[in-house]
Structure 1
Amino acid sequence: MSTPDPALREQVSRIYQDHHRWLQGWLRPRVACRHLAADLMQDVFVRVLSAPDASDRLGAVREPRGYLATIARRLMIDYFRRARLERAWLQALAEQPEAVEISEQERLILLQTLCELDAMLAGLGPRIRRAFLLSQLDGMTYRLIGEELGVSEVTVTRYIAKAFHHCTLYSLQADS
């Protein structure tokens, strides 16, 4: 912000001296915090000083309190909008699952399990494997899987039954 000319500084100084207590009192019950009211009140006067053609605008103001209240109202709206956005962002962050650090042993167990699953699913045909994964991982209905694969719902039912049968046999063989 550039340094305002002396006439503008005098105009703003006079309005500040005459109305800053009133403006802070007007803001305090609306924001329910005297510190926030003080901050917003100062922001109002910064806006007044930094407005384009500030001297002309202030010269045209007939009711300074109305002018100041309008600027303050806009600043309050911006503040509450930002605060609501910040709360929503913090809530979204809080709802995110925490990153879990796993031990090397747990990592090895997960990797072995994934390898076993891959070997088990490799024994299925590609269409049966795709139907099974769409059902189990994506939670898709048999009708939607059928549309995705271009087959009937009955065929999807057969695919899933074959996949479960294959997984059961694979599991029994692995246990023995």
Structure 2
Amino acid sequence: MVSLSQHGVAHLYREHHSWIYQWLYHRLGNSADAADLAHDTFLRVMVREHQYHIEQPRAYLTVVAKGLMVSWFRRKHIERNYLVLLAERSEQTHPSTEQHYLIIETLVEISLLLEDLPHEVRLSFLYAQLEGLKYQDIADKLNLSLSTVKRHVKKAYLHCLTAMMDHDC
């Protein structure tokens, strides 16, 4: 059992860092990525306020690492798709390194925001926003009624608006 005081995190790190690194390396197949996520796992543990003892440190670290790994895979997927689109554009229109980073971060945030929506709502919204489809075309494509598509897009807009208002507070 480990208490997560500052001393407890140091103990947790000493006892389990190499194990979580190996666990991540086995799943990612890349030493640098495994080292980064192992580091991030312990950072996540440190910034959380823990008022309890950890009975099973490896199980706890695995849960934290899995969450970070899911986020990492999402980010890599988004970044790969963005780079494919960027490759289709002329070099003159490529963003700076800083802009590239901000674009990827924004796309990840948007992805997380839209992930909260039901599948048909998300698709309706994306078809309207990204492909510029008319509501009737979306209805035909998704085999939905026109009124359902309108309701879905409205729900997505409200969801985004609420998130923006929450973020500003």
Q: What's the TM-score once normalised by structure 1's chain length? A: 0.48
Q: What's the TM-score once normalised by structure 2's chain length? A: 0.50
